[in-house]
Structure 1
Amino acid sequence: MMNLAIFCADVGSIKKNKFGWAAVLSDDEELSGTDIREFAKEIVKQIEKNTKVAIGFECPLFVPVRSNPVFVNSVRNGEGNRSWSAGAGTGALATGLVEVLWVFNEISRILGKKPQAVFQWPKFLDSESIFLWEAFVTSTAKGAGHTHDALSAVTQFKNSLPDPMRINAIEETDVFSLVGAAALRAGWSYDTSILSEQCLVIKA
Structure 2
Amino acid sequence: MALGFEAPIVLPVSPVDQVDGWKTLGQARSGETVGGRSRPWSAGAGSSALATGLVQMAWVLQRVSADLPEVSCTTRPHTWLSGRANLFLWEAFVSGTAKPVPAGTSQHAADAAAAAATFAERLESGSLDEADVVCAPMSSFNLAAATAVYAQMTIDVDELHLPAQVYR
Same fold by TM-score, threshold 0.5 exceeded? yes
* Match in the other structure for 1:197: 162
Report how far residue 165 of structure 1 moved.
2.7
Is 2:135 aligned against 1:172?
yes
Report how far residue 65 of structure 1 moved.
1.1
Gapped runs of 5+ residues in structure 1?
1-52
SS at match of 2:39: coil
- The Cα RMSD (Å) is 1.5
Q: Distance in 2 between matches of 1:84 and 1:65?
A: 12
Report how far residue 166 of structure 1 moved.
4.7
* Match in the other structure for 2:9: 61
* Match in the other structure for 1:71: 24
Q: Distance in 1 between matches of 2:164 and 2:27?
A: 19
Is 2:113 aligned against 1:151?
yes
Gapped runs of 5+ residues in structure 2?
16-20
Percent identity, aligned pairs only? 35
SS at match of 2:50: helix
Q: Distance in 1 between matches of 2:65 and 2:55?
A: 16
* Match in the other structure for 2:73: 117
Matches within 5 A, 1:1-204: 53-67=1-15, 68-80=21-33, 81-111=38-68, 113-127=69-83, 128-142=85-99, 143-144=101-102, 145-162=107-124, 163-173=126-136, 174-203=139-168
Query: Partner letter of residue 120 of structure 2?
Result: K
Larger strand percent: 1
Moved more, 190-199 or 125-134: 190-199
- Which structure has more relative contact order (CA 8 Å, sep 6+)? It is 2
Does the 8 Å CA contact 1:58/1:136 hold for their aligned counterparts?
yes
Does the 8 Å CA contact 2:12/2:141 hold for their aligned counterparts?
yes
**TM-score, normalized by length of structure 2?**
0.82
Does the 8 Å CA contact 1:114/1:187 hold for their aligned counterparts?
no
Change (3 A) 1:132 1:105: same
The count of corresponding residues between Structure 1 and Structure 2 is 150
Moved more, 69-78 or 184-193: 184-193
Report how far residue 167 of structure 1 moved.
3.6
Does the 8 Å CA contact 2:75/2:145 hold for their aligned counterparts?
no
* Match in the other structure for 2:18: none
After the TM superposition, which segments of 4 or more aligned residues of structure 1 sit over 6 Å from their partners? none
Query: Partner letter of residue 172 of structure 1?
Result: C
Change (3 A) 1:141 1:183: same
Query: Partner letter of residue 61 of structure 2?
Result: F
Query: Partner letter of residue 87 of structure 1?
Result: G
Query: Partner letter of residue 84 of structure 1?
Result: W
